[in-house]
């Protein structure tokens, strides 16, 4: 076991409830000396702070204690009035597998699974729960949405082990959730998993009873169905409301919620097909079902219509479904955004989402986790800013992004004011830098197939998953206007006007919505091809500059070494993207770079 990972303790912190955890935190911090904890159960997760007093609900007092200490350490005044989260469910969705691997995980093995079993070091779980709670997360789904054997046993023979894990998280005000296999009844002797079959319904009711008997405060079940070859209601000719409502009915008596992922991309298509458009799939599947889901069903929708690409527009489903409980899904695990090697600070992206999304459209937020048992928990030590910011985002979705990042830096490292601002500046611009050398102008899916780190401009171009940019010798991009695939028509009228006309469309999404000739002029006067060249060259150069700046920041030795190693990899990755992408477009177009820079043929 890596003892350094356990921070300062060799043993367990002696706490069993959020109140005890709050009292421990205050008692073991100089800033919390003499502060009293007052529990008022009716306040739930809310809290109020006054000098010397933390008042709140059963879990709210712990959030209040963390905020009290943070305010003191940051030199900020205590927040005034009652503080409560915007969203009742703020979930970390971990894609951990029972063998200890993590799908799209870049931070080491699972914290709680190994060798096909629930196995964990209690101190590590307590450390992780403490960290997540301090950020504001209140639910953790511990297993992969792609439920593979023997993960089905988590709601069967492994329930006692899951209950032990739940107790460690419960002490920090965090409830567990479990991903379940829609076809699970087939593994238990039933001939069908049809959600309208009375035998299936009875089986899930009995299973839910057993699960909640072991873990009374389980938040609920999470389901991925009919996507990427996962089983689901489509197998039986049923729709997703019928599938979700059946499971929701089983857990409703115990206060559970059924989170149903709106990821239904089995729209396999022939690359020659010019009309089928993958980003349209979720809307086409779910909009006809708006208002058909049970009250304890939450539809979990990715922030964009594709799949966590570097840049996507807001998913139209988030705007269209107004009679359904919705959860916004983002991905902290940097599957397409640098594998937690390359810097990619995410809060600016979330701020853009919230600019277009009315706050009352959501009841929950969820993030695909970036946790692992490696020495820095999030792989790259600076990737922890995304985990911290996500937790704060669940409380204040319209937060000041720069202030949030600055708070994380100040709470994490003892830097001078000048070095603090320097690091904040690098983190704030990191997303734009990564975008410049990978996904300029809204281009998607130019990554190495399967692995998704590094460039491969044609890697997915003839793939059956609808991941195309259709670059040829004259033009690049997809026409998603009314005259093209019609995707833009899934948006409200004002957004159709924004995205559907080239002159209105933001440069960052130009080639997502429009097909452009390389010689077409953009608003700044540059041609499309010159903008592509410039962005890739600039991205590589700015990555080298970020490396230089970060090398001068006096991090603790282990952190500095890890940051330097990651930046060396990022510099190589950025240069590879620059050279491969520019050569790709140069070979297609035959147009030279106006600035005469080296492009390899």
| 530-572 residue pLDDT tens | 999 999 999 999 999 999 999 999 999 999 999 999 999 999 9
Distance CA 342, CA 439 (A): 14
Q: Same domain for 274 and 229?
A: yes
138 within a domain of the structure (yes/no): yes
For residue 46, pLDDT over 60 is answered with yes
CATH number for the domain harbouring residue 536 = 3.90.1330.10
> pLDDT, tens digit, for every residue of 98-148?
999 999 999 999 999 999 999 999 999 999 999 999 999 999 999 999 999
543: part of which helix (H) or strand (E)? helix 528-551
Q: What secondary structure does DSSP assign to 347-375, as a single string?
A: HHHHHHHHHHS-GGG-SEEEEE----SST
Return the CATH number at 228.
Answer: 3.20.20.80
Q: Of 25, 226, 277, 335, which is the active-site residue?
A: 335
User: Tell me: the pLDDT tens digits for 573-586?
Assistant: 999 999 999 999 99
Distance CA 599, CA 593 (A): 8
Residue 281 covered by a domain: yes
- Count of structural domains, the chain: 3
User: In terms of domains, do 63 and 98 share one?
Assistant: no
Active site residue 58: no
CB contact set of 518 (below 8 Å; sequence gap of 6+): 474, 475, 476, 527, 528, 529, 585, 589, 591
Q: State which of 40, 74, 108 marks the end of a domain.
A: 74
Residue 316 lies in a domain: yes
Is residue 502 in some structural domain? no
499 is a domain residue: no
The span from the CA of 204 to the CA of 442, in Å, is 43
Residues 389, 308, single domain; the answer is yes
335 is known as an active-site residue: yes
Q: Which residues contact 253 (CB under 8 A, 6 or more apart)?
A: 208
pLDDT in tens, 474-510: 999 999 999 999 999 999 999 999 999 999 999 999 9
203-219, pLDDT tens digit by residue? Answer: 999 999 999 999 999 99
For residues 11 and 97, membership in a common domain is answered with no
What number is the average pLDDT over the span 178-199? Answer: 96
Residue 14's domain spans which residues? Answer: 3-74
Q: What pLDDT score does 8 carry?
A: 43
> Is residue 600 one of the residues assigned to a domain?
no
Half-sphere exposure (Cβ direction) of 57: Cα atoms closer than 13 Å: 13
84 falls within a domain: no
Check if the beta carbon of residue 37 is closer than 8 Å to that of residue 54. yes
What would the pLDDT profile of 325-366 be if each residue is shown by its tens digit? 999 999 999 999 999 999 999 999 999 999 999 878 999 999
What mean pLDDT is predicted for residues 428-432?
Answer: 98
Q: What torsion, rounded to 10 degrees, do the Cα atoms 311, 313, 319, 321 define?
A: -70
Q: Identify whether 2 is a catalytic site residue.
A: no
Residue 9 pLDDT more than 60?
no
Q: Cβ distance 524 to 338 under 8 Å? A: no
Q: What is the pLDDT of residues 447-477, one digit of tens each?
A: 999 999 999 999 999 999 899 999 999 999 9
352: Cβ–Cβ under 8 A, 6 or more apart, which residues?
A: none
Q: Are residues 462 and 362 in the same domain?
A: no
Q: Which of 213, 228, 273, 568 is catalytic?
A: 228
Write down the pLDDT at residue 265.
66
Same domain, 401 and 358: yes
Per annotation, catalytic residue among 181, 307, 329, 342:
307
Are residues 107 and 55 both part of a single domain?
Answer: no
Residue 426 inside a domain? The answer is no
Neighbours of 187 (CB within 10 A): 13
Angle at 345 between CA 342 and CA 347, to 5 degrees: 160
For the cut 80, the answer to whether the pLDDT of residue 4 exceeds it is no
Do residues 69 and 190 both lie within one domain? no
The answer on 149 and 178 residing in a single domain is: yes
pLDDT level of residue 383 (50, 70, 90 thresholds): very high
In this structure, what token pair is assigned to residue 221?
A: 């079940």
| CA separation for the pair 513, 390 (Å, rounded) | 29
Same domain, 258 and 393: yes
The pLDDT score that the predictor gives to residue 433 is: 98
pLDDT computed for residue 267 by the predictor:
64
Q: pLDDT (tens digit, 9 = 90+) per residue, 513-533? A: 999 999 999 999 999 999 999
66 and 141 together in one domain: no
Please tell me whether residues 158 and 58 are part of one structural domain.
no
């Amino acid at each position: 076991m890596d003892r350094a990972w356990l921070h300062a303790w060799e043993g367990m912190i002696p706490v069993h409830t959020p109140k005890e955890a709050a009292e421990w935190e205050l008692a073991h911090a100089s800033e919390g000396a003499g502060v009293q904890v007052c529990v008022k159960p009716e306040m739930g997760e809310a809290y109020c702070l006054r000098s010397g007093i933390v008042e709140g609900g059963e879990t709210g007092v712990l959030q209040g204690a963390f905020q009290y200490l943070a305010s003191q350490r940051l030199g900020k005044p205590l927040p005034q009035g009652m503080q409560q989260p915007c969203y009742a469910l703020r979930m970390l969705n971990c894609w951990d597998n029972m063998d200890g691997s993590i799908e799209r995980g870049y931070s080491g093995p699972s914290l709680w699974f190994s060798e096909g079993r629930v196995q964990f070091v209690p101190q590590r779980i307590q450390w992780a729960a403490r960290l997540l709670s301090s950020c504001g997360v209140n639910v953790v789904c511990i297993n992969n949405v792609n439920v593979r054997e023997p993960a089905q046993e988590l709601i069967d023979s492994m329930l006692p082990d899951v209950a032990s894990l739940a107790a460690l998280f419960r002490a920090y005000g965090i409830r567990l959730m479990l991903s379940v296999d829609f076809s699970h009844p087939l593994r238990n002797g039933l001939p069908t998993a049809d959600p309208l079959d009375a035998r299936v319904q009875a089986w899930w009711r009995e299973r839910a009873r057993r699960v909640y008997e072991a873990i009374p405060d389980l938040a609920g079940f999470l389901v991925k169905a009919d996507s990427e070859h996962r089983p689901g209601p489509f197998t039986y000719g049923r729709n997703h409301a019928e599938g979700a409502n059946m499971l929701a009915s089983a857990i409703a008596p115990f206060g559970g919620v059924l989170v149903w992922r709106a990821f239904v991309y089995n729209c396999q298509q022939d690359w020659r097909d010019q009309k089928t458009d993958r980003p349209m799939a979720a809307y086409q599947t779910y909009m006809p079902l708006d208002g058909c889901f049970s009250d304890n069903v939450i539809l979990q929708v990715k922030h964009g219509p594709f799949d966590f690409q570097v840049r996507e527009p807001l998913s139209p489903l988030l705007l269209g479904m107004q009679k359904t409980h919705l959860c916004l899904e983002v991905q902290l695990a940097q599957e397409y955004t640098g594998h937690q090697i390359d810097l990619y600070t995410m809060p600016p992206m979330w701020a853009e989402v919230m600019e277009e999304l009315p706050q009352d459209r959501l009841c929950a937020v969820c993030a695909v986790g970036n946790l692992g048992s490696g020495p820095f928990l999030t792989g790259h030590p600076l990737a922890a800013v995304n985990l911290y910011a996500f937790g704060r985002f669940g409380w204040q979705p319209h937060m000041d992004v720069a202030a949030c990042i600055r708070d994380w830096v100040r709470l994490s490292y003892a830097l001078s004011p000048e070095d603090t601002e320097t690091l904040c500046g690098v983190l704030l611009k990191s997303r734009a830098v990564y975008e410049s050398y990978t996904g300029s102008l809204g281009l998607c899916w130019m990554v190495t197939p399967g692995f998704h780190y590094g460039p491969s401009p044609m890697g997915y171009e003839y793939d059956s998953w609808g991941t195309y940019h259709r670059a040829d010798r004259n033009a690049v991009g997809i026409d998603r206007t009314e005259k093209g695939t019609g995707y833009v028509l899934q948006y409200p009228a004002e957004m159709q006007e924004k995205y559907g006309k080239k002159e209105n469309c933001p440069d960052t999404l130009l080639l997502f919505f429009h097909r452009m000739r390389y010689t077409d002029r953009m608003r700044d006067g540059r041609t499309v091809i010159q903008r592509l060249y410039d962005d890739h060259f600039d991205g590589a150069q700015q990555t080298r500059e970020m490396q230089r700046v970060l090398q001068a920041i006096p991090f603790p030795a282990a952190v500095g070494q890890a940051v330097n190693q990651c930046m060396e990899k990022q510099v190589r990755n950025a240069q590879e993207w620059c050279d491969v992408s520019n050569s790709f477009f140069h070979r297609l177009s035959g147009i030279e770079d106006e600035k005469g820079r080296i492009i390899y043929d």
